Structure 1
Amino acid sequence: MKNLPILNIQQFDEEETLSNFYSNDLRVHLKKNAEMVHKPHSHNFFLCVFFAEGIGTHEIDFNIYNVTRGSVFFLRPGQMHSWKFTSIPKGYIFFHTQDFYEFHFLNKKLSQFPFYYSYENPPNLILKEEQLDAIEIRFKEINNECHEKDAYKNQKLASLINLVYIDLSRIYTTIKSRKEVFSSSYLQALSILEETIDQFYKTEKAVTFYADKLNITSKHLNRITKTTINKTTTELITERVLLEAKRLIVHSKKSLSITAETLGYNDYAHFSKLFKQKVGVTPLDFKKKYETNS
């Protein structure tokens, strides 16, 4: 089995795409890129997709989400996903690099938006019927602008995606389970922590290591994670390790023992015990189950 493919923007539409931004009618996009998008893959960019019609499922990092009219999904770089549809979808999709957005908004980060500030936040929402038209107009305007050759194109695209992210953030934060608003310093620390875990989780598992990287105490770091996402720092580190373990188990040719070593566990028995404790099955059983259901 091949390693998980990581797609970049230039792979999708050589004639139309910018080097750091892409937009398309969803039906056209899925048809032109069918060989890529229906198999598990990840991206090196941010992705946002709106469904005006369609029924199916969207698997994101081993979690299954239903696709229906009004579904919107947000993906960050590195997240693994794939689609399955039982009816032909209709809508719009766009993606862009981090630099594309942050170059035009020097004092803003994509992590300001609730669906991007933490991997712990749900990567989706379902619009109400009365919200659909306004959001669809936003996506359509983005797509139209992307395929025109007018002056100040990048500037306008950046402004348009900023507007749609603001509109979607307002809707996202009205959902009961997502209403809490935390201090900007806590959210920034959480974002930096997740980036740091991404960088070092294979070799560093201790909370003290990450606290030192953020120049705060372990106690305060745990206070931040418990307040914002109700998890300990250790839980975040372990979850990141297990997510990568799942990816490698189902998409790598490496043996399970080599996979464990890659993630910093020289004792496979210890790794297997941890995996079963947290996931509920052994790594081998997880691999078999995923292949059976795929």
Structure 2
Amino acid sequence: MKITVLNIDQFKNSKVLKDVYVNTFSQHINLNQDLINKPHSHNFYLCVLFSEGTGTHEIDFNSYSINPGKVFFLKPGQTHFWKFDTQPKGFIFFHSQEFYEMTFVNHRLTNFPFFYSYQNPPVISLKSNHHDLQKKFKDLYQEYVDSEIFRNLKIVNIINDIYIDLTREYTSDLDLSNNSHSSYLHILENFEHLLDQSYDKQKLPKFYADKLNISTKHLNRVVKETINKTTNQMISDRVILEAKRLIVHSNSSLSNISETLEFSDYAYFSKYFKSKAGITPTNFKKKYSQK
């Protein structure tokens, strides 16, 4: 069974505002249990603030604890799943890329650190302004359910305000001082886009450097200064992520998966997987089949 990709139209959203959805988290769970009760991905950007509840949020095979004050971010294509130990409360909103960027034409969603790279953590723990931000989420929800004039504009402006506050909170915990160089961020974004298109066929840095019209040395410098990894690490991370997705969410055999990812044979794929993931594909499959 392949991973389910959800879109905004599948949720109980406003008939007028097609590209945005806002709800309290408890209502969201109750209304959409059939959609979100198994691992899935989206074709939209998502943000959720928890004010109550505990549990685990798994995003692309990394597990994060859920507790009050946690905020999670998801980009299109990321696979995730919720598991709650106690009843969750909070607010959730999601929207298309166009909904935001048609208003803020000079600012892209990928300018926000939690959206510009899959390598950045998709979660923060709020420290100082938990209640202030919760009020903004509440105002966003109220604006969404009301039908006041200029509702669309008010909603996108509140979302932008929330993202700015969250960016300030996010960067207070992360050392992103080297990420301020806009040209480096642009190269990183283009590299990740190329990687999403070609990770199965192209596993060497030179291909991506050539496509970006830069040297492999410069590409490595960009990756190192923005996310503190090497180009080879980014490529292998993307290959392993896709391998994990296919192992868990498809009915393909491990041998077929190795072919899909264009490894010369299964033995090489297995060796590659274990060297990067620390576990063999067979044992990884057994581990997730027990969940």
Give your verdict on TM over 0.5: yes
Letter in 1 for 2:231: T
2-structure distance, mates of 1:53, 1:153? 28
2:265 to 239, 264, 267: 267
**Number of the residue aligned with 2:181:** 183
Give the TM-score normalised by structure 2. Answer: 0.96
Tell me how far apart the structure 2 counterparts of residues 113 and 171 of structure 1 sit (CA, whole Å): 12
Partner SS state of residue 146, structure 2: coil
Partner of 2:285: 287
Is the 8 Å Cα contact of residues 10 and 17 (structure 1) preserved in structure 2?
no
Cα deviation, 1:76-96, whole Å, max 9, x if unaligned, reads: 011110011111111100001
Correspondence for 2:248 among 250, 260, 266: 250
Question: What is aligned with 1:220?
Answer: 218
Distance in 1 (alpha carbons) for counterparts of 2:141 and 2:16: 11
Question: Match of 2:79?
Answer: 80
Post-superposition CA distance 1:108-136 (Å, at most 9, x none):
111111111111111101112x4111101
| SS of match in other structure, 1:13 | coil
Instruction: Select the residue among 205, 208, 227 that pairs with 1:207.
Output: 205
The 2-side partners of 1:178 and 1:49 are apart by 23
Residues 79-158 of structure 1: pairs in structure 2 closer than 5 A: 79-128=78-127, 130-158=128-156
SS in 1 for 2:3: coil
Q: Distance in 2 between matches of 1:290 and 1:17?
A: 41
Q: 1:167 aligns with which of 152, 165, 168?
A: 165
Kindly indicate whether residue 182 of structure 2 is the aligned counterpart of residue 195 of structure 1. no
Q: How far apart are 1:149 and its partner, in Å?
A: 2.1
Give the whole-Å Cα distance in 1 for the aligned partners of 2:172 and 2:120.
14
Runs of 4+ off more than 6 Å: none
Aligned partner letter, 1:277 = S
Which ranges in structure 1 are unaligned for 5 or more consecutive residues? none
Alignment deviations for residues 11-65 of structure 1 (CA, whole Å, 9 cap, x no partner): 1115557321111010000111122223111111100000111111100011110
1:241 alignment counterpart: 239
Structure 1 position 151, deviation (Å): 2.6
Does 2:31 match 1:53? no
Rounded to whole Å, the distance in 2 between the matches of 1:17 and 1:253 is 39
Paired residue total: 291
**In the superposition, relative to structure 1, how do residues 118 and 14 fare at CA in structure 2: closer, same or farther (>3 Å)?**
closer
Structure 1 range deviating more: 144-153 or 250-259: 144-153
Are 1:172 and 1:178, in contact at CA under 8 Å, matched by a contact in 2? no
Partner-residue secondary structure (3-state), 1:104:
coil
Mind listing any 5+ residue stretches in structure 2 that lack a counterpart?
A: none
CA distance in 2 between counterparts of 1:135 and 1:16 reads 27
Q: Aligned runs of 1:9-24 on 2, under 5 Å?
A: 9-13=8-12, 18-24=17-23
Change (3 A) 1:291 1:263: same
Identity, in percent, stands at 51
The code of the aligned residue for 2:168 comes to R
Equivalent AA in structure 1 for residue 263 of structure 2: Y
CA contact (8 A) 2:243 2:257 kept: yes
Q: Deviations over 1:175-217 (max 9, x none)?
A: 1555654311111111111111011112111211111221111
